[in-house]
Amino acid sequence: LTLTTFTEHALPYCVFSHGGGPPRVGAGLGTHIIDLELAFGDKIFAAPSLNGFLARGPRAWQRTRERLLGFIRGGQLTETVPIAEATLHLPVQVADFADFYSSLEHATNAGRILRPDDPGLARNWREMPVGYHGRAGTVVVSGTPVARPHGQIAPGHGRPDLAPTRKLDFEAELGFVVGAGSAPGRPVPIDDFAEHVFGVVLLIDWSARDIQAFESRPLGPFLAKSFATTISPWVIPLAALDQARVRPPAQDPPPLDYLRASQPWGLDIELAVQLNGQLVSRPRFAIMYWTAAQQLAHLTVNGAALRTGDLYGSGTVSGFRRDEMGSLLELTAGGREPLLLPDGQPHGYLADGDTVTLSGSAPGPGGSRIEFGCASGRVAAAADQPGPLARNAASASPGVS
């Protein structure tokens, strides 16, 4: 992979360390990182996460971006570090993580594959962005290896075994980072989206399809998703995406009032999925049926408060065309039809050693592109079972726990 080059229109934020120093907040420009504490003389940036800065709210985000642009245009920035020499860390201390299911094409594709006899969408799908909570503590930064998880797998109708997943998958998503919290009991109106959401990351929702199939009834996915979620180290501020805003697909039926925005929040972001360096798909975010603004309004309509650091995933970004599908579930028709890689090799679900890389870009001012960097993870072999499990099995009598 070649290094991303960030234009002054992008100015994404990151947490980096360099030369053995502690993690600190930076902004990407060209192939370098601007050290924001040195640029602004502000200790809020001498921190291992963006959270302190995010908590200052939208006026502070805007002022910081404007001052930084002023410095850049005035040639006043000297303290930068090459991205290639820095270590990039998880940019946000994640508070709560929720994940949605908001591409009509993905939901339709998945229904056809998983429920061929009854492929229809659930009755709620066109009424709300359906979602669930995930595990915040296992959100990791790009580059972190992802160990193949164990779980209960029950092929056919027999009893399950505990085994490493044989159907390890990715889902190509965007993640939305909440900067400014909200008060308990006060739903966030949809038009206040940009008052709360600071920016966007690339997100890989790792999924073990066989574990998911057995565990999910009736409470939804749990361990099939909770072992790891990878995000990019760069948070693209919403302010960098003005040129990317588009009208989302028409919604039929028209949604309830709280899901109607006065300004469109579709986003024309092009994603690309590479498997071991080979391009397998180019999902287009603009097709998403439910927007991130609708997701935020829905997430809070019951009065649930937002906190700085909340993260929510868009759901898999997929089209109907094979070269726009954002998961191996879809790209391989549930594992039944191998995906042919550009080099002609067939590929099924993820094998140990496979690397998945998600990248993205959006239109910027004057024909420029806003680059998102990438979110990448390599599949590591399943860990050995811990010793005590074998020991317990020998000492426990059936039926006693």
The catalytic residue positions are 106
Task: Tell the burial category of 52 from Cβ atoms under 10 Å away from its Cβ (0-12, 13-18, 19+).
Answer: middle
Binding its own copies (rule: CB under 8 A), the pick from 46, 55, 60, 223 is 223
Could you tell me whether strands 139-141 and 229-231 are parallel, antiparallel, or unpaired per DSSP bridges?
parallel
Residue type, 277: G
Q: Does 306 bind its own copies (CB under 8 A)?
A: yes
**76 or 397, CB closer to its own copies?**
397
**20 or 387, CB closer to its own copies?**
387
DSSP element (H, E) containing 356: strand 355-363
Residues 256-275 contacting its own copies, CB under 8 A: 256-262, 264-265
**Residue 66, C-beta contacts closer than 8 angstroms, at least 6 positions apart:** none
Q: Are 326 and 172 in contact (CB under 8 A)?
A: yes
**280 or 299, CB closer to its own copies?**
299
Residues 52-91 contacting its own copies, CB under 8 A: none
Q: Does 108 bind its own copies (CB under 8 A)?
A: no
The site map against its own copies for 371-400 (x = CB under 8 A) is: ------------x-xxxxxxxxx-xx-xxx
Q: Which residue spans within 42-155 are E strands per DSSP?
A: 80-82, 87-89, 97-100, 131-133, 139-141, 146-147, 150-153
Smallest separation (angstroms) from its own copies to the CB of 340 = 30
Binding its own copies (rule: CB under 8 A), the pick from 7, 108, 251, 276 is 251
DSSP state of 171: B
Residues 152-171 contacting its own copies, CB under 8 A: 152, 154, 159-162
**70 or 155, CB closer to its own copies?**
155
* Options 14-22, 74-82, 95-103, 234-242: segment touching its own copies (CB under 8 A): 95-103
Query: Would you state the structure tokens that stand for residue 222, as one six-digit string?
Result: 């749990």
> What is the spatial distance between Cα 171 and Cα 273, in angstroms, rounded to a whole number?
10
Q: Are 83 and 35 in contact (CB under 8 A)?
A: no
Q: Does 252 bind its own copies (CB under 8 A)?
A: yes
Binding footprint of its own copies, residue count (CB under 8 A): 98
Smallest separation (angstroms) from its own copies to the CB of 332 = 21
The site map against its own copies for 329-358 (x = CB under 8 A) is: ------------------------------
Smallest separation (angstroms) from its own copies to the CB of 291 = 6
> What is the spatial distance between Cα 319 and Cα 326, in angstroms, rounded to a whole number?
8
Binding its own copies (rule: CB under 8 A), the pick from 226, 332, 357, 359 is 226
Other C-beta atoms lying within 10 Å of the C-beta of residue 394: 6
Query: Would you state the structure tokens that stand for residue 147, as one six-digit string?
Result: 């160990």
Q: Does 192 bind its own copies (CB under 8 A)?
A: yes
**Residue 376, C-beta contacts closer than 8 angstroms, at least 6 positions apart:** 1, 142, 143, 230, 355, 356, 357, 358
Binding its own copies (rule: CB under 8 A), the pick from 36, 68, 190, 350 is 190
Smallest separation (angstroms) from its own copies to the CB of 114 = 9
Q: Does 248 bind its own copies (CB under 8 A)?
A: yes
Q: Does 134 bind its own copies (CB under 8 A)?
A: yes
Smallest separation (angstroms) from its own copies to the CB of 150 = 6
> What is the spatial distance between Cα 40 and Cα 51, in angstroms, rounded to a whole number?
17
